[in-house]
Structure 1
């Protein structure tokens, strides 16, 4: 018989929704699940007392401090209070399984989306259990949660590891076309925009045409100009629609982008095509967008400002994250910059050689490299390179008592945990690089922007966290590669977290002190011994080091904020969202947009140029003339942006006479207040004059080299989208024209016919623009043998590895001569004598640096 009185009593009984009380009453199964930690109790109390009604909450807790169970408890509290749908989103299936295990250990009711039914369980939709699933399940164009007004209502939502989730969500709103899988689709799009992408870089266009995927070198890419994209909008829409139903790379994105293609950027490379929206239409996912509360879990080291634009997180949540106020730092990291200890004997190649050949270690030695192209030397010295297929097996190797080989991970800055003896020495090898075509394009054109610095710094901090996964964990972290060191020293300060800033500061101090110890006896042997002695303080658990580290970390100044110009980010976000609305009042919009740019004085020229290009794109549908006016302004600020289709004459340069050349050098050197600053600048140039260096960095170094030598320089391919990579005016009526191939593999045997063809195009451009002058042509490439059928229209000299080495040595010696000279007043005769002494003359390049190319490489040894 039904006891209705008991039912009435149960209705009237108050439900305890305090997450701390909920935890105490859970039927916990695991012996590990003891009392809540102070950090967990603190944030749960703050959330329950004052934040449970906020629409957005950012929860920041240290690694290993129990974020997962904290997030689950918040959802459980909401479930008991509201009896509505609660969703916990993870980035991968493996993380879903880990979260499920925690839910089971702690006795929290949960459910999952079962295969193959792929249906949201009624236990979730009726609020009886928390749904644990992946980000991909919610964020795709055919989401089972629905999109737009057909979406399922969610009450509470937790996004685990919000920053990694963001990248997945953005990717799910982009079209990625892989050429090897969809050759016909690739061809149709390429042919549609063939001429317009060639107009944005003739040399790069032919690099795309002639790219050899077997060489594994970084792939060239070009953007489709927005004017051609919008002009051919019907055609591109028709092509994509035709393939949408049977091409997975389009199928799950098409419902999101099909009606907003006009406001997308298309980037084309030899291996694929990407189509990316200017503004991610996150509001289409109403289950996410209208959730009553969204909880974003973020590491304490992460900068959250980018979430405003990417996930439309409210500014108030960024300003007031939910944190444990007594929590400071977690784990021990001995950060060391070897090149600061010995600039001559502990450069990147010394570290790769030493640690790459380490065998049978009692603890793991792991390096993180930005690309497979950068791992060739690691492999040569015996390190194991983890591939996508071998990764799981390679990581298992680190569990063995003796680690047979060092392990190199490629672009694995997050998502892999290497605690305890799995990794006691972590080597971050070079500056993290973008992986998608669009991100590579953005990085190229906005390299000095705050957003770029935040994104790169975040990856560096994520990498630093791979080997220290708990309060008691410890690791050495070596930072190598001139691009990474330059970024750390010059660009990262304002956006580093307080913890990472202090750790790097400690590392720079101990590295500099170690340099002082070997200053009078800096050899390769003494430098390596000094490095090993320093880092052994960590893995040998030196008590003095441990105490010093604790004392320094306890004195962190948390008052120094990371970049937090939230007003600007919010304004930018609003303006970009308005810009893709075809019904805007364009004149009013232009005024407001330009006012935004002028009012924000910290905006760099690169950022201003990027904003103007966006403004030009918005204006194109209303007025091509106005659009190209804005585009020309943008291009003049940053030559890496789109060259507008307006008549512009090539700007030619004239060579200096000898006395003017010396004056040019004097002016360049006088820009530096101290020799140390000059040395840092020239070290960057010297370190980037090597094969394997990223194309943009290498080309910048060659241009800087020309200026340091007093020549007048130009970069026609970069600035005018045609012609050689470099023109140096070396004397009155005399020129060097240089083509760079820095990313060609050093194991290559031949110069390809396509590469000589590109040089011949550059020669034709030079002959047309620099008539009646003396021109000497150089190609910087690690091989001098010509492929059968390849040839140059005019004589060309080849600069190989040994040639670059001579240049670096001569430039180093030349610059060192100014160490005790007043840089503001240098005698020009002193400059001239040192130019001659160290062979930095045009004749040196022609006779000592350049080599004559040779036919029939296959019959000769290199």
Structure 2
């Protein structure tokens, strides 16, 4: 064999370290063309100005080649003897894609084979190791934990937002009731007394296996019983989830919280600690890959990234936007074109020219499509279904359940994307936080981030295009509202604005005699046929985007919050409490937010000053009734209509809104939530809002004091109405159970104990069936509100709302309001006569 290197000067064969020069030396496949301008810019900027940065974020538009940039950066580091170099993807599927890219560009790499050993080529700094986050971030990681870890020179985290979720999951124990009944029962039994004190009805639902009901274990009970809890977990070594988390949590159980539902138990850290994964946290250089539409604030807390790196990412500023998204909001074009109509129309369509995809937040929404003939992707078949789309095997719409990232659907694989309703938080801890902090900037940023991840699924490159239909009143409201729309990137905000403009134009041009869905289909066809007018309009509008300097304090807020939690972890309880009080004074302006952080302050005090913790928890609960109920000191405040005027109460409600359209948008969301299948909390909150809208005093006793019915209204002459709601019951259920009848009887007894027996009260059970089990019985008169009656009630409210359009909401007369209330049967007596029915008691 001829040794050609003998003929070469040693300086000439030195391996290139400048990434663009390095690229020119690679043995690329013929399909791999030259670097794009954005890639060249990022690579040169990194090499010349950021090569030595400890933390760096690289942000690029979707489809601009982030993967190649990451591989070239790592290869540059290897060539300059700065290995080992690690490329981490969020899942195995994307790992395979990155490996394919490395092969295409001729970049040497290695992977972890079936023997689960770390390759020598990686440790020696010879090749890039491409792997997925679950391999790195777990309690039994082959990369090691704490100080016993493999040293890494440079690590790249691709799709970094998804990796944050993996890190949290790696430190979370989930015990499924169906798989580990014994362990589940021991934990429930350990905390049963405290849970009953938090809410007897909810605890009964959990015991009966209600999938949707969950409760947090009070922090004081968790702290007091941590030794017993450790013993249960130590004995549960056979539970896979426990095995992989146990090394991380066994010595810091006080830093964890616990949530119990009817189907599972979740044990999760207050602050997922990335520092224990030294191969990442102690790497000399950490580079995160992020899309331009993503908010990177959560890297500060989730990945312990420096705020400076997050505030100053490396971006290609010459390119303002990428790809074409026609955002269509059908309900704004024609109010009859609601969610149900869109789902029905598109689920029945057959199409062989391009892919259609719907992203839904939960199984109930997915079942709506599948019952109409759609293809539903689940955890087992999702990537096979996606591959069929990429191979252009189209026919029916594909439904993806609660998955908004890690899925690429370029070009014809997805020309129509339906974003159906607000994204759904997976973990019990996230659900609890969302319930307690509905106005939080942090929560709303998380929601906006998930929505943007979904919006990006169908447009994967500069020349890609897709029609995106926004349905579900909650999602429409979130994307339109001034208070929440600001949490999106400027690119997405502009696309939403374009969507609002075309909705208005399409609405003005609609013929009243044509089908409600027709303008929506027409707009999609204009985009698909590459209408010149649409393309020019879209391009001209998108070019108006102006990048705004982010002045949000959320970066500092997240950093401070994380640092305070670390003080608690180090048992610096007094310092943690002092710091949290300053944090509250500085950031907690909203009353619900203040309550949330007061609960954290009470938790910090509990190990050292229990009396102070109890006082603070009482104040927190009074500020926010969704929080943990303190052991003592909460008294029920009876509701009364004395000195109240119903028409004044209605006007007070209307005055919350600056104009009719804002009012209509809010009521649409409320009525949408007042539907069987909605989450219990949303359904009950909607009933409270409807009570206030109709001019009644409205309470949620079960939420506010953890006793009594879900909803209680008081009207003129102190006439009372209360509702026990079962919105999440299967609509095919045949009967009202003995347990549900018992709950209703308990609420009737509570009402009598508080208000006496001589008041006028109507009792309603809102449930899909009117048949009472042979084994159950009611102690008082109870009427039933089923789906049909609930729909009639909502329709009456809708017609009432429409009648208000011509009036000034701030100056509508008593006579007009009373006339409309009477016309549309919205008095308390009407609920009994028109919107409810008697139950039927089954005989054996």
For normalisation by structure 2, the TM-score amounts to 0.96
- After superposition, what is the alpha-carbon deviation per residue over 1:388-408, rounded to whole angstroms, capped at 9, x for unaligned? 233344334435656332221
Alignment partner of 1:719 out of 696, 701, 704: 704
Output the CA distance in 2 between the equivalents of 1:111 and 1:485.
46
Determine if the alignment matches structure 1 residue 325 to structure 2 residue 317.
yes
Name the SS for the 2:732 alignment partner: coil
For residue 129 of structure 2, what is the aligned residue in structure 1? 131
Post-superposition Cα deviations, 1:768-806, rounded to whole Å, max 9, x if no partner, equal: 112132221101112212233122221211111221222
Output one character per residue of 1:274-305: Cα deviation in whole Å (capped at 9) or x when no partner: 11111222111111111000011111110000
SS in 1 for 2:466: strand
How far apart, in 1, do the equivalents of 2:634 and 2:455 lie? 48
**Aligned mates of 1:814, 1:100 — CA distance in 2:** 60
Where 2:838 maps in the other structure, the secondary structure is coil
Distance 1:322 1:113, change over 3 A: same
SS at match of 1:492: helix
Asked whether the equivalents of residues 773 and 841 of structure 2 are also in contact (C-alpha less than 8 Å), the reply is: yes
Which residue of 2 is the match for residue 235 of structure 1? 228
Structure 2 distance, partners of 1:8, 1:365, is: 57
Look up the SS of the partner of 1:158 in the other structure.
Answer: strand
CA distance in 2, matches of 1:662, 1:369: 40
In the alignment, which residue of structure 1 is the partner of 2:386? 395
The residue that corresponds to 2:283 in the other structure is 291
Give yes or no for the alignment of 1:558 onto 2:544: no
SS for the counterpart of 2:399 is strand
1:529 aligns with 2:518: yes
- Preserved CA contact (<8 Å) 1:329 1:499: yes
Aligned to 1:26: 26
Deviation at 1:133, TM superposition (A): 1.4
Please identify, of 444-453 and 221-230, the stretch whose mean Cα deviation from structure 2 is larger: 444-453
Q: Aligned equivalents of 2:314 and 2:82: distance in 1? A: 24
Provide the residue aligned with 1:429 in structure 2.
Answer: 420
Shift of 1:730: 2.1
Corresponding position of 1:440: 431
Query: Is it true that 1:226 corresponds to 2:225 in the alignment?
Result: no
Query: Match for 1:613 among 599, 602, 606?
Result: 599
Q: Distance in 2 between matches of 1:387 and 1:788?
A: 39
Report the 3-state secondary structure (helix = DSSP H, G, I; strand = E; otherwise coil) of the residue aligned with 1:819.
coil
CA-to-partner distance for each residue in 1:447-481, whole Å, 9 max, x for gaps? 22111111111111111111111112111000000
| Contact 2:642/2:718 (8 A) holds in 1 | no
Which residue in 2 is equivalent to 1:215? none
What does 1:648-663 correspond to in 2, within 5 Å? Answer: 648-656=634-642, 660-663=645-648
CA displacement at 1:197 relative to structure 2: 1.6
**1:378 offset after TM fit, Å?**
1.7
Aligned pair partner of 2:298 in 284, 295, 306: 306
> Is contact 2:618–2:634 with CA below 8 Å preserved after alignment?
no
Q: Indicate the SS of the match to 1:568.
A: helix
Query: Per the alignment, do residues 562 and 356 of structure 1 end up closer, same or farther by CA in structure 2, a change over 3 Å counting?
Result: farther
Q: Deviations over 1:691-720 (max 9, x none)?
A: 222222211111111111111111110110
Residues 765-780 of structure 1 mapped to structure 2, 5 A cutoff: 765-772=750-757, 773-780=759-766
Q: Deviations over 1:402-448 (max 9, x none)?
A: 63322211012112222222221110110001112221111111122
| Partner residue of 1:827 out of 791, 813, 820 | 813
1:374 partnered with 2:359: no
1:268 is aligned to 260
SS at match of 2:232: helix
Q: Which residue of 2 aligns with 1:492?
A: 484
**DSSP 3-state at the match of 2:570:** coil
Q: 1:443-842 to 2 correspondence within 5 Å?
A: 443-490=434-481, 491-518=483-510, 522=512, 525-559=514-548, 561=550, 563=552, 565-584=554-573, 586=574, 588-600=575-587, 603-656=589-642, 660-772=645-757, 773-842=759-828
Q: Take 2:408 and 2:392, find their aligned partners in 1: how far apart are those partners?
A: 17
Relative to structure 1, is the Cα distance of residues 817 and 638 closer, same or farther in structure 2, using a 3 angstrom cutoff? Answer: same
**Distance of 1:530 and 1:815 partners within structure 2:** 25
TM-score, scaled relative to structure 1:
0.94
Contact 2:22 2:76 in 1 (8 A): yes
Q: 1:562–1:693: structure 2 CA closer, same or farther, 3 Å change rule? A: farther
Rounded to whole Å, the distance in 2 between the matches of 1:381 and 1:664 is 43
| Structure 2 counterpart of 1:411 | 402
Counterparts of residues 168-183 of structure 1 (less than 5 Å): 168-183=166-181
Deviates more, 1:384-393 or 1:692-701: 384-393
Q: Deviations over 1:324-354 (max 9, x none)?
A: 12122111110000000011x1111111111
- Taking the aligned partners of 1:691 and 1:66, their CA distance within structure 2 comes to 45
SS at match of 1:704: helix
Q: Does 1:199 align with 2:192?
A: no
Counterpart secondary structure, 2:198: coil
State how far apart, in whole Å, the 1-side matches of 2:20 and 2:11 are: 23
Question: What is the deviation of 1:136?
Answer: 1.5
Q: How much has 1:119 moved relative to structure 2?
A: 1.8
Change (3 A) 1:84 1:798: same
Deviations 1:139-197 (A, max 9, x none): 11111111111111111001111001111111001111111111111111111011212
Distance 1:274 1:340 in 2: 40
**Separation in 2, partners of 1:274, 1:562:** 36
Deviations 1:481-502 (A, max 9, x none): 0111111122432210111111
1:75 matched residue in structure 2: 74
Does residue 1:855 correspond to 2:841, yes or no? Answer: yes
Whether contact under 8 Å (1:443, 1:452) holds in the other structure is: yes
Distance 1:121 1:390, change over 3 A: closer
More deviation, 228-237/101-110: 101-110
Compared with structure 1, are the counterparts of its residues 748 and 292 closer, same or farther at alpha carbon in structure 2 (3 Å cutoff)?
same
How many residues get paired? 839
Rounded to whole Å, the distance in 1 between the matches of 2:785 and 2:179 is 38
CA deviation profile, 1:483-529 (whole Å, cap 9, x unmatched): 111111224322101111111110111011211223xx546x44222
Structure 1 portions without partners, runs of 5+: 213-217
Match of 1:339 in 2: 331
3-state DSSP of counterpart to 2:247? helix
Q: Closer, same or farther in 2 for the Cα pair 1:560/1:713, shift >3 Å? A: same
SS of the residue aligned with 1:333? strand
For residues 797 and 56 of structure 1, do their structure 2 counterparts lie closer, same or farther at Cα, with a shift above 3 Å needed?
same
Structure-1 residue corresponding to 2:118: 120
- C-alpha contact (below 8 Å) 1:656/1:729 kept by paired residues: no
Matches for 1:97-108 after TM superposition, within 5 Å: 97-108=96-107
- Cα drift, residue 647 of structure 1: 2.7
Q: CA deviation at 1:94?
A: 2.3
Taking structure 1 as reference, are residues 547 and 711 closer, same or farther at Cα in structure 2, changes over 3 Å only?
Answer: same
Contact kept? 2:167, 2:272, Cα under 8 Å:
no
Question: Alpha carbon RMSD of aligned pairs, Å?
Answer: 2.2
Unaligned 5+ segments in structure 2 are none
Change (3 A) 1:360 1:73: closer
What residue in structure 1 maps to residue 187 of structure 2? 189
Residue in structure 2 matching 1:145, options 143, 146, 149: 143
Large movers: runs of 4+ above 6 Å: 5-9, 11-14
The Cα shift of 1:15 comes to 5.3
Of the three residues 162, 165, 169, the one matched with 1:164 is: 162
Aligned equivalent of 1:362: 353
- 1:86-101, aligned counterparts within 5 Å? 86-101=85-100
Q: Give yes or no for contact 1:741–1:780 (8 Å, CA) kept in 2.
A: yes
Please state whether the residue corresponding to 2:161 is helix, strand or coil.
Answer: helix
